[in-house]
Chains A and B, each alone.
Chain A
Amino acid sequence: MIEIRNLHAEIDGKKIINGLSLTVNDGEVAAIMGPNGSGKSTLSYVISGREGYDVTGGEVLLNGENILEMNAAERAAKGVFLAFQYPLEIPGVTTMTFLKACLNAQRKSRGEAELSTPDFMKRVKAGAEKLGVPQDMLRRALNVGFSGGEKKRMEVLQMSLLEPTFAILDETDSGLDIDALRIVSEGVNALRDPKRSFLVITHYQRLLDYIVPDTVHVMSKGQIVKTGSKELALELEANGYRDYVGEAA
């Protein structure tokens, strides 16, 4: 479970997160919706440990442990996963090599034995098959020349291999057609687990038809301004954000 308490963060002196508090329980899928510029992506970066953001107050507890002092790699090993809105292309590094290095780095950090190549191959092939990721994609440089849908599928494949306890999906629906959205959502739904929590960041209600949330939060000006059930997303779709954006201080 993740507990964000009165979080304040800024970049280059500009305040983006203004006293945000949010709890996502084990097994819960929470959605964050909000207009452009409300700080949703910044929140995902601050939780996952991107450099360049100054946290000026508050704490982020993962299973009771404050992770704000850790770097991004340490947080990943603790179980934080960020599925990127725009996954990066890594020329010259094959997908397979990258996945193996990441998985074993996390295992090493947790004091676990590294996976042997055959064990790793077995896992990655099984995961790829479920998501319809062709084997030849695994031998290509990571995300280089992949379509939007392939990149998002690769994010979900990485998530399935790394088995995080808390996963953030940042605008996972952006750039996806209906078929790709369905495949990616099924991949995410297959990973729903009583011990795993999700934070789904999205502009549109559409994604939440596929990944049905337990709770929906509205974010505006760096704060959570409204919390409700999945019906809140439908209401937002119908009426827009105008009822909420004025509420933040």
Chain B
Amino acid sequence: MPGDVKTAQSAAEEKLVAEFARARASLPGTEPVGALRDAAFATFKSAGLPTRRVEAWHYTDLRIAMRDALPLASAPKPDAALKQKLEKLAPRIADLATARLVLVDGYFIAELSDAMPKGVSVSALSDALAKGDATIVEALSAPGMGQGDAALALNTAFMQGGVVIDVASGKQVAQPIEIVAVSSESSHAIYARSLLRVGAGAHLTLIERDVSAAAQAEQRNNALVVMVADEGQVEHVFVPAVLNSASTHVASLLAVLGAKASFNSFTLAQGGGLLRRQIHMRFDGEHAKGQLAGASVLRQKDHADTTLVVQHVAAHCQSREYFKTVLDGEATGVYQGKVIVAPGAQKTDGAMKSHAILLSDNATMNNKPELEIFADDVVCGHGATVAQLDEDQVFYAMARGLPKPVAESMLLEAFVDEATDRVESEPVRVYLTSLIGQWLSQRGRA
């Protein structure tokens, strides 16, 4: 940009440059993958870590948050102790028999994973990259989405773990797939990228649960690419880990929907350091439906940023964005949602909502919904609110005998439930509600 003064590299940026030079040769993949990594790293190098000067990062300064760049995680050695620890860190969701895929420090560990249901095939990202299948390499690079984003570019440059999941056309898989991503005890950086390809008319539920065994800070930068072919249906739930308060976590989701496809994604953020949830969703085929929903419950100095870009390229598609945020302490919440309707995307039906409740004078919410509409026959709307708990409602409940913390928890739970209600699976809803309940009960005790 003219007049833009290039600042000197930060300590973290210098380390990332050195780390890439050191690790480049050992990162998995054939030469086209190497070229992809180099191009992505060049993007990062010229932009640097995102700061407030980058519009899409206006409320989250990753450059300041990442004072240092932690070393890349190396491949773990799975043992019995790790398996036990995993069951403790990520207990099974009640009444939901999922087929688990386990990532340790980003690396897929087949020995700890379950057998996949019929119609679903899985391979480690490193194997897929080593084979160099052109369609996989292209899909992983998610062309046209998030280009120029330095954090996503870092993920592309360093991606060393993750899984590639394929669901055969027409397979309606009843058993949910669950990716459990656990970090081991040392302090390090994890770069994982996974790919989910759902064939025409196939159905799948994918749950991503991140957990951490680390007491120290970690740096996670993960990305999931979801490609839903025509008439495919995907239910997706993501529960990031509650990390050490000095940690950073960039979690990107890139979704492309074919005609009549449906994609319903939910994220529950429970705080712990800095979380940047960035989602790109694109409608490539007509009559598709996409819903992005989420809830964030934050306290202390938690920082959670949800930034969405929804691109209506094809006509007759429906998008819904629905987010609820509860902020206590000195927490910061960010919601940036941008819905772009291309000139040909007539009959687009879009509705975006972000509602926040502040429980403390020191909490902050930044709400920024945007519509960019280039078609003339569309219905698109957005609403954003930031409020406090309704004192009249609290008094009403107290006057009926509910102690104040109970009355407040009841109202907050009802507020957040309006988002979790958008999750299709009842056992998953119950699980999410129980996590939110735990957060609320800890608030009552504080």
Contact = CB atoms under 8 A, between A and B. Distances in A.
Interface of A: 48-52, 71-73, 75-77, 81-82, 84, 87-88, 90-93, 98, 101-103, 105-106, 109, 158, 162
Interface string B380-408: 00000000001111011111111110110
Contact of A162 (B393, B395, B401, B417): B401
Given A90-B396, A92-B417, A102 B401 contact: yes
Contacts of A75: 399
12 contacts: A51-B391, A71-B404, A72-B399, A88-B390, A93-B411, A93-B414, A98-B410, A101-B402, A102-B400, A105-B402, A109-B403, A158-B400
Interface string B401-444: 11110110011011101100000000000000000000000000
Given A49-B398, A101-B410, A102-B397, 16 more contacts: A71-B403, A71-B404, A72-B398, A72-B399, A73-B402, A75-B399, A76-B400, A88-B392, A91-B418, A102-B400, A105-B401, A105-B403, A105-B406, A106-B401, A158-B400, A162-B401
A48 B399 contact: yes
Contacts of B395: 50-51, 72
Nearest to B392: A88
A93 B393 CA distance: 12
Contact of A73 (B393, B407, B411, B414): B407
A92 B404 contact: no
A52 to B, nearest CB: 8
Nearest to A88: B396
B441 to A, nearest CB: 14
A234 B321 CA distance: 59
A93 B401 contact: no
B48 to A, nearest CB: 44
A105 B401 CA distance: 6
Contact of B397 (A90, A109, A162): A90
Nearest to A78: B401
A80 B415 CA distance: 28
Contacts of A48: 399
Given A51-B391, A92-B417, A73 B398 contact: yes
B401 A88 contact: no
A71 B396 CA distance: 12
Contact of B396 (A52, A81, A87, A103): A87
A73 B392 contact: no
B401 A90 contact: no
B399 A90 contact: no
A77 B401 contact: yes
A84 B415 contact: no
- Considering residues B393, B398, B410, which has the most beta carbons from chain A within 10 angstroms of its beta carbon? B398
A45 to B, nearest CB: 8
Nearest to B415: A92
5 pairs of A and B residues whose beta carbons are closest in the complex? A92-B414, A72-B398, A106-B401, A76-B401, A102-B400
A166 to B, nearest CB: 13
A202 to B, nearest CB: 19
Contact of B411 (A51, A90, A103, A109): A90
A97 B417 CA distance: 14
A82 B404 CA distance: 17
A88 B393 contact: yes
A101 B414 CA distance: 14
A123 to B, nearest CB: 15
A109 to B, nearest CB: 7
A25 B417 CA distance: 45
A52 B398 CA distance: 14
Interface centre among A72, A84, A101, A102 (most CB of B within 10 A): A72
Given A90-B411, A92-B417, A73 B396 contact: no
Contacts of A106: 401
Contacts of B400: 76, 98, 102, 158, 162
A75 B404 CA distance: 13
A158 to B, nearest CB: 6
A163 to B, nearest CB: 11
Contacts of A102: 397, 400-402
Interface in B96-150: none
B398 A71 contact: yes
Contacts of B403: 71, 73, 105, 109
Contacts of B414: 90-93
B415 to A, nearest CB: 7
Nearest to A97: B410
Nearest to B393: A88
A101 B338 CA distance: 41
B417 A73 contact: no
A176 B242 CA distance: 52
Contacts of A91: 414, 418
Contacts of A87: 396
Interface string B223-260: 00000000000000000000000000000000000000
Contact of A93 (B391, B399, B404, B410): B410
B393 A90 contact: yes
Contacts of B418: 91-92
